[in-house]
Amino acid sequence: MSEKRQVVVSGMRPTGRLHIGHLHGALANWVRLQEENDCYFFSADWHALTTNYHDPGVIKQAEREMFVDFIAAGVDPLKSTLFVQSEVKEHAELFLLLGMITPLGWLERSPTYKEMRENITDRDLALYGFLGYPVLMTADVAMYKATRVPVGVDQVPHLELSREIVRKFTHHYGPVFPEPQPLLTASPKILGTDGRKMSKSYGNTIDIGESAESTTKKIMGMVTDPARKRRQDPGNPDVCGIFYLHKVTSGADTVAWVDQNCRTAGIGCVDCKKKLLEKLLPEQEQMRERREALLARPGDVDALVQLGTQKARKVAARTMDEVRTAMKLKLA
């Protein structure tokens, strides 16, 4: 018997073109999940404001590109609900109401809050909006009565905070929301061209659907095992970004072939990279074609997102009606 359909909610901050780290870290999983669940995937534009408040103009520009990348990667707007967070104003209302019962200490202890305050030093993050973003995140998932939220191991404490807020709501006002359970997703390690984590801020990304010429240039110039100086030196694939790309792109036989021949110097890095391109380039080409077709008809992409946003609004209106009733905020 098949498992009950779950409600899955996940969002992404619109920060511009997505790269193959996003593809294998989140989107490939969304594509699988949409087949058997009710999925809501949204542009977390208000979340983007918590750290990008100084330059809000770029958020809307990045948003369409992001939706184009979602669809090019295989997220189907007819199976999944794609929407824009700020276009469903109920998120702000629920954020406010949940804020009334969320202890300050829970937010101050959030590991991401502490980590980002320490790491982002070029702007002031001692802000109410930034501190409160886990409350907004809770509102985002609770609004659709999410039962599952795809997270990596490092995001489990975040979701636990949301679950605590939901429990507190239930304690005060009764059961409106299910407690969202983490859907642990193995997030494959994807390194950038310089051997660090693939990230736009490092300038080391390979974008989804990047041209064959540019993808080839980046792969051929990519840092490999730094200890493998000459062709005859055995390598260590476990420290090499090319090997991690093989793992998500090439078949199991090729991965085993690389693993063995790298360690025994049976192949050189150039051979290894060419082997990767045999699979990576057609994949990139397919996504590039989809992106171009979508970008040629931007009105269609906008219409699909509007359709999803309308659906999200309807669900959100129903939920907020229940919330107001539970909290006795409506006249009898």
Binding region for ligand SF4 (CB under 6 A):
224-225, 228, 235, 237, 240, 242-243, 258, 262, 267, 269, 272-273
CB of 238 to ligand SF4, least distance (A): 9
For the CB of residue 198, give the shortest distance to ligand SF4 in the complex, in Å.
16
Q: Characterise 203 by phi-psi region: left (phi > 0), alpha (psi -120 to 50), beta (else).
A: left
Query: Measured from the CB atom, is 229 or 328 closer to ligand SF4?
Result: 229
Q: How far is the CB of 225 from ligand SF4 (least distance, A)?
A: 4
- The residue among 220 and 293 lying less far from ligand SF4, judged by its C-beta, is 220
Please say which residue, 175 or 226, places its beta carbon nearer to ligand SF4: 226
Query: What span, in angstroms and rounded, lies between the C-alpha atoms of 38 and 130?
Result: 29
Q: What three-state secondary structure class fits 174?
A: coil
Q: In what order do the strands lie in the sheet with 38-43?
A: 81-84, 38-43, 7-12, 148-151, 181-184
Min dist. Cβ of residue 237 to ligand SF4 (A): 4
Q: What is the number of other CB atoms lying within 10 angstroms of the CB of residue 94? A: 23
Q: To the nearest whole angstrom, how small is the minimum distance from the Cβ of residue 197 to ligand SF4? A: 17
Q: State which residue, 260 or 310, has the beta carbon closest to ligand SF4.
A: 260
Classified as helix, coil or strand, 79 is coil
Which amino acid appears at position 15 of this protein?
T
Cα 148 to chain centroid distance, Å, stands at 15
For the chain, the straight-line distance linking the first and the last C-alpha, in angstroms and rounded, comes to: 44
Burial of 114: CB neighbours in 10 Å, binned 0-12, 13-18, 19+: exposed
Residue closer to ligand SF4, measured from CB, 142 or 240: 240
The minimum distance between CB 268 and ligand SF4, in angstroms, equals 7
For the CA atoms of 21, 23, 25, 31, the dihedral, rounded to the nearest 10 degrees, stands at 180
Amino acid identity at 116: M
- Nearer Cβ to ligand SF4 (40/243): 243
